[in-house]
């Protein structure tokens, strides 16, 4: 690193002193916290993004300012790799190091050492770097974008391109498209969605039923606003949008996918009198999660169709198309879940004859496993997920389609699969594309939301957390379904599980605090509660409690 570059980094870093006692860790959500504490962090992630671009031969990198489902006063920052996927886990330790560097001088030393190790060149031979910036609708995003721009441009030869207010999935999609040499604007994103949606609607059998109006809870975030824009492109979707934030509603406050999924009650703006039986859907604050729900009677409780139910609907539809092509198209289809997936959903998916595998908690781990299949479907219960199609499999489908008679069952099945691969976001979970695919499939099946909910009945479950002196004393398998340490605890847990019909339980250490999380399910809520309690007592007896 030459003197000019060192001076540039020192000058820009001095504008954003790191708050005392700030300690951050880069995870699935990137960095996240109180927005007033984040300018130095966002600035440094801007630097990282430029270095990532230079490392990957001047590929375009994405930097998103969002705190997703967190409260309005929070914000965050995360990075998209050229594929549109999340930042490579190999770079997460470096992200932690520079975010927590105590001074500009310490920061420059870390960057210089990292550049040598990664053989990153700046200027001249290093080429130009490019970082696309996006932010959700939080007011704090405006100043944080400026911090990111200064960070990006402090690496000589690198430029920041502000793409404005976007959903997180939009930015990931646009970055992916840019690096693949495809059309990459927000308008292109909308047109891709609407074209694919219309194709799938046109392929619905003539006996497919018209579906009633859908009501969207936009979480007072960017997703509701973007759906209002997209609605202008969609003549074949009857949707009412509430909680757009235009009426003074507060982002994620008693609204949104996270609130609905956790509390299992109606969000603000929905009434038990007018909305009974109506098909409803909630986005989270940056529109990368969705859950469906409906209210059954005159109280505030809801029937929730979470990520497991969405995954099951998608898997059923994909399986139906592949069954039509049996013998003509060979494929490996896999469903990826975490240990937190309800056991009833896993049983249902296995009953379809699908390969169900488990991954460590965190969407980046599910995404990675899903890439191992020709068609990989993953969702967390919180509503974050997507369907990944390998490029080779899509190419195979397109070639096979040429050999088929237009309008035949096989031709239509291939056409549906290709359209789904275009509709569903291939980079990251996307509430908008997920909504459109759910709506297509329900219309294809002729199902109401109540009929969809009957695919299976969730087993009662309970989650508790136990504060412990040292969470690292718990070591689990990579799927987090069994505990390897402390020795003997898994045998004790198994002994408790055997006492309950359809019992299942596991423990896993928190990634951020000295807490061990306990999950339990059984055939009744009373048994699930009892099993969770007994496993929590085992954790205390093996590890001690605070």
Annotated binding-site residue? 529? no
State yes or no: 153 annotated in a binding site.
no
Nearest Cα to Cα of residue 425 among 466, 379, 467: 379
Provide the CA 484 distance to its chain's centre, in angstroms. Answer: 28
Annotated ligand binding at 341? The verdict is: no
- Is 382 marked within a binding site? yes
Nearest-angstrom CA–CA distance, 380 and 417 = 22
Q: Smallest Cα–Cα separation from 530: which of 520, 518, 541?
A: 520
Helix, strand, coil percent content, the chain, rounded in steps of 5: 45, 20, 40
Residue 143's CB is within 10 A of a number of other CB atoms, namely 15
Contact of 265 with 282, CB cutoff 8 Å: no
Residue 36 counted as an annotated binding residue: no
Beta carbons within 8 Å of 366's beta carbon, 6+ residues apart: 336, 337, 338, 359, 378, 379, 380, 385
67 in a labelled binding site? no
The reply, when asked if residue 247 is annotated as ligand binding, is no
Do the beta carbons of residue 42 and residue 144 sit within 8 Å? Answer: yes
The encoded tokens of residue 176 equal 């992916």
Q: Which of the following is catalytic: 68, 282, 421, 530?
A: 68
Q: How many CB atoms lie within 10 A of CB 495?
A: 11
Q: Are 180 and 174 in contact (CB under 8 A)?
A: no
128 among annotated binding-site residues: no
Q: What tokens were used for 282? A: 């909630």
Cβ 50 vs Cβ 158: under 8 Å: yes
- Flag whether 462 is marked binding: no
Work out the end-to-end distance of the chain between its first and last CA atoms, rounded to an integer number of angstroms: 49
d(Cα 212, Cα 340) in Å, to the nearest integer?
32
| CB 322, CB 354: distance < 8 Å | no
**Whole-angstrom distance, CA of residue 172 vs CA of residue 288:** 11
Comparing CA positions, the residue from 9, 1, 5 lying closest to residue 105 is 9
Count CA atoms within 13 Å of residue 175 on its CB side. Answer: 36
315 annotated as belonging to a binding site for a ligand: no
Is 312 annotated as ligand-binding?
Answer: no
458 is known to lie in a ligand binding site:
no
CA distances from 413 to 400, 410, 444 (A): 11, 5, 12
Q: Is 68 an annotated catalytic residue?
A: yes
286 belongs to an annotated ligand binding site: yes
Helices 409-423, 391-402: axis angle to 10 degrees equals 150
DSSP, collapsed to helix, strand or coil, labels residue 238 as coil
* Cα–Cα dist 67/47, whole Å: 20
Q: In what order do the strands lie in the sheet with 303-305?
A: 239-242, 214-217, 279-283, 290-294, 303-305
List residues with catalytic annotation.
68
Binding site per annotation, positions: 68, 284, 286, 288, 380-382, 508-512, 517
Binding site per annotation, positions for substrate: 380-382, 508-512, 517
Binding site per annotation, positions for Mg(2+): 68, 284, 286, 288
């Amino acid at each position: 690193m030459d003197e000019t570059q060192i001076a540039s980094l020192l000058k820009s870093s001095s504008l954003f002193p790191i708050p005392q006692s700030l300690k951050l860790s880069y995870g699935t959500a990137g960095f996240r916290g109180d927005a007033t504490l984040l300018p130095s962090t966002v600035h440094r992630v801007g630097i990282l993004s430029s270095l990532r671009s230079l490392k990957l031969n001047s590929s375009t990198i994405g930097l998103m300012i969002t705190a997703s489902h967190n409260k309005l006063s929070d914000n965050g920052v995360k990075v998209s790799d050229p594929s549109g996927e999340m930042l490579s886990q190999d770079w997460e330790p470096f992200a932690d190091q520079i975010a927590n560097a105590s001074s500009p001088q310490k920061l420059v030393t870390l960057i210089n050492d990292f550049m040598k190790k990664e053989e990153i060149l700046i200027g001249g031979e290093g080429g130009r770097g490019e970082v696309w910036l996006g932010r959700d609708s939080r007011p704090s995003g405006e100043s944080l974008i400026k911090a990111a721009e200064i960070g990006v441009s402090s690496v000589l030869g690198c430029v920041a391109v502000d793409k404005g207010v976007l959903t997180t999935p939009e930015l990931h999609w646009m970055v992916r498209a840019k690096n693949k040499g495809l059309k990459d604007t927000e308008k292109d994103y909308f047109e891709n969605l609407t074209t694919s949606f219309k194709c799938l609607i046109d392929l619905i059998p003539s006996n497919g039923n018209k579906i009633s109006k859908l009501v969207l809870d936009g979480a007072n975030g960017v997703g509701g606003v973007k759906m209002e824009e997209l609605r202008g492109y969609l003549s074949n979707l009857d949707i009412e949008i509430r909680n757009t934030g235009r009426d003074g509603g507060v982002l994620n406050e008693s609204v949104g996918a996270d609130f609905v999924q956790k509390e299992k009650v109606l969000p603000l703006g929905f009434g038990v009198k007018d909305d009974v039986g109506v098909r409803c859907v909630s986005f989270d604050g940056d529109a990368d999660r969705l859950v469906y729900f409906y209210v059954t009677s005159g109280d505030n409780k809801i029937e929730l169709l979470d990520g497991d139910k969405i995954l099951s609907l998608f898997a059923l539809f994909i399986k139906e198309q592949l069954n039509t092509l049996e013998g003509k198209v060979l494929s490996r289809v896999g469903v990826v879940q975490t240990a937190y997936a309800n056991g009833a959903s896993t049983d249902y998916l296995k009953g379809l004859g699908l390969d169900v595998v488990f991954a460590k908690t965190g969407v980046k781990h599910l995404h990675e496993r899903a890439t191992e299949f020709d068609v990989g479907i993953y969702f967390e219960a919180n509503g974050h997920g997507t369907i990944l199609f390998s490029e080779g499999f899509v190419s195979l489908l397109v070639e096979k389609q040429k050999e088929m008679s237009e309008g035949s069952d096989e031709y239509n099945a291939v056409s549906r699969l290709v359209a789904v691969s275009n509709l569903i976001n291939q980079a990251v979970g996307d509430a908008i594309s997920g909504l459109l695919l759910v709506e297509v499939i329900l219309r294809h099946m002729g199902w109401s939301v109540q009929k969809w909910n009957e695919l299976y009945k969730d087993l009662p479950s309970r989650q508790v957390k136990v504060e412990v002196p040292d969470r690292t004393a718990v070591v689990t398998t990579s799927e987090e379904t069994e505990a390897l340490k402390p020795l003997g605890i898994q045998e004790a847990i198994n002994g408790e599980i055997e006492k309950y019909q359809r019992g299942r339980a596991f423990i896993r250490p928190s990634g951020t605090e000295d807490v061990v999380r306990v999950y339990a399910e059984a055939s009744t809520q009373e048994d699930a509660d009892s099993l969770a309690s007994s496993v929590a007592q085992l954790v205390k007896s093996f590890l001690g409690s605070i």
